[in-house]
């Protein structure tokens, strides 16, 4: 048997998994019993045939993003992400519920979150400016960029330089435009992956990890726009609102739902203006949308 080597999963191809190892890319098959290998995974692999490998082990992950799939199961979207960059814009109309949802997931999954305000060349609604100030006060970094005018991209590159990031956000906010601006030779790289693994086309649905010319990695995954509430429990959703965290222990009841419960410290803080009311109201909305355990 060939020796085990360490590698990084950079893409899912039709016929296998592209693993980068020692500067080369090898097409690998996961061992049958292995849980689903995903982009960003560090793996141990070995040669099984010339130019072909077999993934023997997934090394421990520091984070994992998943999305809902059939039968109440979840599928991995990407592993070992350091920061989720939540992209939004004045147009399409900004969905703050969705933004809060992404932030809540990151808060629970050991992933940093930052906001990317794209299309700054357009006039924003006042509501957007107000909410931005709220997120900034909560400690979230905000990158103000314009993909089409190439404004603010250097700061974004700098932030990505020492880590693995992923862009997410509703359709039409400019994720693809930003990805193309950050990875100018994206198509070339995609073709290179297919060519070096000598197998099959790289479908547009495949999640792919790109090394940025200025350092760091960006995972481009068409699936990330829909990772939903990612199986968060009601308690995790509350924890996902970071301004609630110091308050939760001060609610009278341990199982406080932070809705109409007596002596709820979270609701009281929102009513007294100590935490943002708009965020609290969105928490209630998201909570309402959650599937109930019956």
Ligand X SMILES: Nc1nc2c(ncn2[C@@H]2O[C@H](COP(=O)(O)OP(=O)(O)OP(=O)(O)O)[C@@H](O)[C@H]2O)c(=O)[nH]1
Phi then psi for residue 292, to 5 deg, are -85, 135
Which segments are annotated as binding site for Zn(2+)? Answer: 251, 256, 258, 264
Q: Which is nearer to Zn ion, 131 or 243 (CB)?
A: 243
Nearest approach, Cβ of 212 to ligand X (angstroms)?
A: 18
Q: Which is nearer to Zn ion, 20 or 261 (CB)?
A: 261
Q: Which is nearer to ligand X, 48 or 148 (CB)?
A: 148
The rounded distance, in Å, linking the Cα atoms of 23 and 266 is 51
Nearest approach, Cβ of 76 to ligand X (angstroms)?
A: 20
Residue with tokens 């994206």: 186
**Is residue 170 near Mg ion by the rule CB under 5 A?**
no
Q: Which is nearer to Zn ion, 11 or 266 (CB)?
A: 266
Which of the stretches 31-39, 50-58, 187-195, 262-270 binds Zn ion when contact is defined by CB under 5 A? 262-270
**Is residue 8 near Zn ion by the rule CB under 5 A?**
no
Q: Which is nearer to ligand X, 51 or 121 (CB)?
A: 121
Nearest approach, Cβ of 114 to Mg ion (angstroms)?
A: 19
The CA-atom distances, in angstroms, between 14 and each of 18, 29, 220 are 10, 11, 17
Which segments are annotated as binding site for GTP? Answer: 118-121, 169-177
8 A C-beta contact, residue 124 and residue 251: no
The CA-atom distances, in angstroms, between 133 and each of 126, 242, 272 are 11, 15, 19
Q: Which does 67 bind (CB under 5 to 8 A by kind): Zn ion, ligand X, Mg ion, none?
A: none
The rounded distance, in Å, linking the Cα atoms of 69 and 138 is 32
Ordered DSSP codes for 55-121: EEEEPPPS-EEEEE-STT-EEEEEES-SEEEEEE-SSSPP-HHHHHHHHHHHHHTT-EEEEEE--TT
Burial bucket for residue 287 (CB in 10 Å: 0-12, 13-18, 19+): middle
Q: Which is nearer to Zn ion, 183 or 266 (CB)?
A: 266
Triad 75, 78, 81: Cα angle to 5°: 140
Residue with tokens 């070992």: 80
**Is residue 12 near Zn ion by the rule CB under 5 A?**
no
Phi then psi for residue 157, to 5 deg, are -60, -40
Which of the stretches 42-50, 69-77, 200-208, 245-253 binds Zn ion when contact is defined by CB under 5 A? 245-253
Query: Binding residue for Zn ion (CB under 5 A) from 77, 166, 218, 256?
Result: 256
- Residue numbers at the binding site for ligand X (CB under 6 A): 118-119, 121-122, 146-148, 171-177, 225
Nearest approach, Cβ of 139 to Zn ion (angstroms)?
A: 22
**Is residue 258 near Zn ion by the rule CB under 5 A?**
yes
8 A C-beta contact, residue 98 and residue 172: no
Q: Which does 251 bind (CB under 5 to 8 A by kind): Mg ion, ligand X, Zn ion, none?
A: Zn ion
Contacting positions for Zn ion (CB under 5 A) = 251, 256, 258, 264, 266
């Amino acid at each position: 048997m060939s020796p085990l080597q360490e590698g990084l999963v950079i893409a899912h191809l039709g016929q296998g998994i592209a693993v980068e190892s020692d500067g080369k890319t090898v097409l690998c098959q996961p061992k049958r019993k292995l849980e689903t290998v995903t982009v960003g995974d560090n793996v141990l692999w070995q040669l099984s045939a010339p130019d072909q490998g077999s993934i023997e082990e997934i090394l421990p992950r520091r984070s994992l993003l998943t999305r809902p799939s059939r039968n109440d199961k979840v599928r991995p979207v990407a592993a070992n992400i350091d920061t989720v960059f939540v992209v939004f814009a004045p147009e399409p109309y900004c969905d703050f519920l969705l933004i809060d949802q992404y932030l809540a997931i990151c808060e629970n999954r050991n992933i940093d979150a930052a906001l990317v305000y794209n299309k700054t060349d357009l006039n924003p609604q006042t509501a957007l400016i107000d909410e931005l100030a709220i997120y900034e006060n909560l400690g979230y970094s905000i990158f103000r960029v314009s993909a089409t005018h190439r404004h603010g991209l250097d700061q974004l590159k700098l932030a990505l330089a020492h880590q693995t990031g992923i862009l997410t956000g509703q359709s039409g906010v400019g994720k693809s435009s930003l990805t193309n601006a950050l990875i100018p030779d994206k198509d070339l790289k995609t073709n290179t992956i297919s060519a070096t693994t000598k197998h099959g086309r790289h479908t547009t649905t495949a999640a792919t990890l790109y090394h940025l010319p200025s350092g760091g990695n960006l995972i481009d995954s068409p699936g990330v726009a829909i990772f939903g509430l990612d199986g968060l429990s009601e308690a995790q959703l509350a924890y996902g609102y970071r301004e609630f965290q110091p308050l939760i222990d001060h609610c009278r009841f341990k199982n406080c739902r932070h809705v109409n419960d007596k002596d709820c410290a979270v609701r009281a803080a929102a009513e007294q203006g100590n935490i943002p009311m708009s965020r609290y109201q969105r928490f209630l909305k998201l909570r309402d949308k959650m599937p109930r355990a019956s």
